[in-house]
């Protein structure tokens, strides 16, 4: 095998992408040299576990210089977003995916406090400690198909002041809703059964935006235990209401595994949402505290809501795997917005490429 040609399955994957691109936009197809370059970069990313041109040069044993590889990355007119769309289409075709659930989550990548070149580095609240750090935040939209399924006690007056929002950095909720709109427009042939996100997205802005973007599908999230619900005309905290009632315990199948759960459920007007939602207090075997799920489509069975929400943890598995093995989080220091976005897309394409390997398909 010649290093520059990449692995056979990667060459086939790039050719598949290029053929799909020709169908949607012939003028944006990859040239022969661009296909060759992309195959090499995906190969190098998988082998070196980084998106670093210097490492790619060493990996090629000096056959390709870091400057030449970087020049292609920065100057080549490649329709990156169209490649990602084509990749998703080919994945759904390969695995016969006709419907699924959309899951939203985000992850932070901490960067140096002194960086001035890397795009979108901004102050991010530190979830583990009081304060902020400099880094990038990435919001993911994850398709789960049917076939695959403030505790530190720091007083408020002593906490760091929240930095003013820069209009060039949209909120995670607005990014998530915009991705849902784009996905629904680009893949209107896929039936979306529900949209799922964690507690951060459990507010009215996201629920309304997600429902509209996906055509009023079921939206699932969590609310805090202190959220107020309307009980007989009075607002009471969700935790205080549900603690007065004994839960129902049963064994259900969650992501192909039997789990014993205890839950209680009812339909309430949630004050923060200003509408009636299905509220479910849920805990798994071995847990002492309940979590509180909310769903906008109250016609679903409680167990079906619980089963659907359990799919959210699959995105956690992807993010952990991606940050460890997909290269972008390891030495991804591309400068400027375009380069950062294109580097991220290469990383995601490498993840998609692995799904076209025959061993992965067999699984």
pLDDT (tens, 9 = 90+) of the chain, 363 residues, equals 445 556 788 999 999 999 999 888 889 999 999 999 999 999 988 888 888 889 999 988 888 899 999 999 988 899 999 999 999 999 999 888 888 999 999 888 877 777 777 778 888 887 777 778 888 888 899 998 876 654 345 455 544 455 566 777 788 999 999 999 999 999 988 899 999 999 999 999 999 999 999 988 899 999 999 999 999 899 999 999 998 888 889 999 887 789 999 999 999 999 999 999 999 999 999 888 999 999 999 999 999 999 999 998 888 888 888 878 776 666 566 777 888 888 888 888 988 998 888 887 777
Tell me how far the alpha carbon of residue 325 is from its chain's centroid.
16
What gap in Å lies between CA 260 and CA 153, rounded to an integer? 33
Question: Residue 327's closest CA among 306, 303, 343?
Answer: 343
What residues are paired with 292 via a beta bridge? 223, 281
The four Cα atoms 173, 179, 185, 186 give a dihedral, to 10 degrees, of -170
3-class DSSP assignment, residue 221? strand
What pLDDT does residue 124 have?
81
Q: Which residues of 137-166 are buried (b: 16+ CB within 10 A; e: fewer)?
A: ebbbbbbbbeeeeeeeeeeeeeeeeeeeee
pLDDT at 38: 93
Rounded Cα distance, 88 and 179, in Å: 14
Provide the pairing of β-strand 218-223 with 191-197.
parallel
Residues with Cβ within 8 Å of residue 308, at least 6 apart in sequence = 101, 193, 194, 196, 218, 220, 300
Using CA atoms, how far residue 247 sits from 101, 143, 189, 297, in Å, is 27, 32, 40, 22
Instruction: List Cβ neighbours of 20 (8 Å cut-off, separation of 6 or more).
Output: 86, 87, 89, 90
Helix (H, G, I), strand (E, B) or coil at 158: helix
Q: CB of 305 within 8 A of CB of 220?
A: yes
Cβ–Cβ under 8 Å, residues 227 and 292: yes
Question: Distance between CA 238 and CA 234 in Å, rounded?
Answer: 12
Q: What angle do CA 106, 112, 118 make, to 5 degrees?
A: 70
């Amino acid at each position: 095998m010649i290093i520059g040609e990449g692995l056979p399955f990667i060459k086939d994957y790039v050719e598949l992408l290029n053929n799909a691109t020709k169908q949607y936009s012939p003028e944006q197809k990859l040239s022969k040299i661009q296909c060759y370059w992309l195959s090499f970069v995906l190969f190098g990313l998988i082998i070196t576990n980084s998106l670093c041109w210097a490492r790619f040069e060493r990996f090629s044993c000096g056959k390709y210089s870091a400057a030449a590889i970087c020049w292609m990355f920065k100057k080549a007119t490649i329709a990156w977003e169209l490649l990602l769309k084509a990749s998703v289409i080919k994945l759904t075709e390969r695995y016969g995916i006709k419907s699924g659930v959309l899951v939203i989550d985000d992850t932070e990548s901490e960067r140096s406090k002194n960086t001035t070149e890397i795009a979108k580095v901004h102050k991010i609240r530190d979830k583990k400690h009081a304060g902020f750090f400099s880094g990038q935040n990435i919001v993911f939209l994850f398709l789960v198909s049917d076939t695959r399924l403030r505790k530190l006690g720091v007083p408020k007056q002593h906490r760091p002041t929240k930095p003013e929002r820069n209009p060039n950095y949209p909120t995670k909720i607005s990014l998530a809703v915009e991705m849902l709109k784009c996905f629904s427009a680009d893949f209107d042939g896929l039936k979306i059964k529900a949209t799922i996100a964690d507690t951060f997205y459990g507010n009215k802005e996201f629920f309304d935006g997600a429902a509209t973007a996906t055509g009023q599908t079921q939206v699932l999230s969590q609310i805090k235990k202190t959220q107020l619900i309307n009980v007989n005309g009075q607002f009471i905290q969700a935790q205080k209401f549900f603690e007065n009632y004994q839960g129902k315990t049963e064994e259900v199948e969650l992501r192909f595994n039997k789990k014993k759960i205890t839950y209680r459920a009812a339909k309430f007007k949630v004050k923060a949402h200003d509408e009636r939602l299905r509220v479910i207090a849920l805990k798994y075997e071995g847990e002492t505290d309940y979590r509180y799920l909310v769903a906008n489509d109250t016609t679903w069975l409680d167990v079906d809501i619980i089963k659907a929400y359990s799919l959210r943890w699959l995105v956690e598995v992807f993010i952990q795997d991606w940050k460890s093995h997909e290269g972008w989080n390891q030495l991804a220091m591309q400068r400027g917005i375009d380069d950062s976005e294109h580097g991220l897309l290469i990383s995601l394409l490498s993840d998609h490429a692995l799904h076209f390997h025959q061993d992965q398909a067999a699984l």
